[in-house]
Amino acid sequence: MLKRILKMKKILVAGATGKQGSATAYELLKNGFEVFALTRNPMSPEAEQLKQAGAQLVKGDLEDVEVLRDTLSKMDGLYLVLPGVWVSSIETDEAEAALGIQTLKLAEEQGVKFVLYSSVMASDKQDLFRPKFKFTIEKYLLESQLQGTVIRPASFMENLILPSFGLGEGKFVNPLPEETAISWVATKDIGTFARIIFQNHNAFNGKIIDFGGEMFTPKQVLKLLEDKLNQKIEFIQVPVEILYQQSETFAKLVEMIAKEGYDPIDYELISSWMPKLTGFDEWLDAEGVDKIKELQAAAN
C-alpha cells in the first residue's frame, strides 16, 4: 500500500517529441520531475531540445517491448498517448487498441504506480462504430490494478497548421459539421493539466476528464482567422460522401458529431485546478498567425 501513496518523480512520456508529449515533458521538467522521453529518433531536433531541457532520452517506441519493460521498471508514472493515424480504419483502430493494452499490461507488470492516458473526446460514443479503439484502452486502464486517469482532449488549435486544412493556400477546408460548435484547446494547456494530474494523482485516480476550452463553429473559426490574418479565406465544406471515400470511421465520427454533439465539458472541475486556459485568439496572436503566414509564404 505504501507504494501507491509515494510521490510521482520519474515519468516516462510516450510520444515525447509530438505535440501533446512534448508539452507534457517540458511542463514536468519545469516542475521538478525526472522525465524519460520515449523517441524513435534521439538525434532529431525535437529530441535534442528535450535533452537540453533535462530529459533523459529513451530510444524506441511503444512496440519495443524489451526497451519498454526495462524502462517502465524504473518509473513511477507513465504519460500514454498513442501515435496518430490520419486515415483511420477498423484495422488501424484494432492495432491501436492492442498496442495500448499491451503497454498498460507492461506498466502493470513492472509496478508503475500511475498512468495518465490521453484519449479523445466522445471515445465512448464512438464505441458504437469503433468497437476496438481508444475507449477499449480506457476501460482496460480503469478496470486494471493500475491507478490511472483518462484525459479526453478537445480539437487541437495546432491542427489548423496541418496541410489538410489548406490555410497555406488561403483556404479553410472543413470536414466537420458546419453549424456544430466544438471545443478547442492549445496543446500547451494539455501539458499543464497533465502536470497537475501527476502532482495530484490520488485526487484524479479513476477519473475520466473531457478537457477543452472555448466552443466555436467552423464558420466562427473562419471569421476569427480572417480577422487575425486580415484577409479573406475561402471556406470549403467537405461533403460527408467524400469523407466516406477517404475514411469510413472518420465519416461516421462526423455524422455522430452532427447528430449528437459532444457531452458538455465540466469547466468548473477544470477551472478549480487550472483557472486559465489559452483562448483561441490568444493562441493565434502568440503563434498561430505566424505559423499560418509561414505556410502561405512557402506555398507562394
Tens of pLDDT, residue by residue, the chain (300 residues): 334 445 789 999 999 999 999 999 999 999 999 999 999 999 999 999 999 999 999 999 999 999 999 999 999 999 999 998 878 899 999 999 999 999 999 999 999 999 999 999 999 999 999 999 999 999 999 999 999 999 999 999 999 999 999 999 999 999 999 889 999 999 999 999 999 999 999 999 999 999 999 999 999 999 999 999 999 999 999 999 999 999 999 999 999 999 998 999 999 999 999 989 999 999 999 999 999 999 999 987
- pLDDT on residue 225: 97
| Amino acid letter for position 116 | L
H or E stretch including 40? none
- Cβ atoms of 87 and 247 closer than 8 Å: yes
DSSP readout, 167-232? GGGTEEEE-S-TT--EEEE-HHHHHHHHHHHHHTHHHHTT-EEEE---EE-HHHHHHHHHHHHTS-
Could you tell me where the DSSP H helices lie in the chain? 2-5, 19-30, 45-53, 65-72, 90-109, 123-126, 134-143, 187-199, 201-204, 218-229, 240-246, 248-260, 267-273, 280-283, 289-299
Domains for the chain: give ranges and CATH numbers.
2-156+185-212+264-277 (3.40.50.720)
Report pLDDT for 210: 98
How high is the pLDDT of residue 275? Answer: 85
pLDDT of residue 299: 84
Residue 143's pLDDT is 97
Rg of the chain's alpha carbons, rounded to an integer? 19
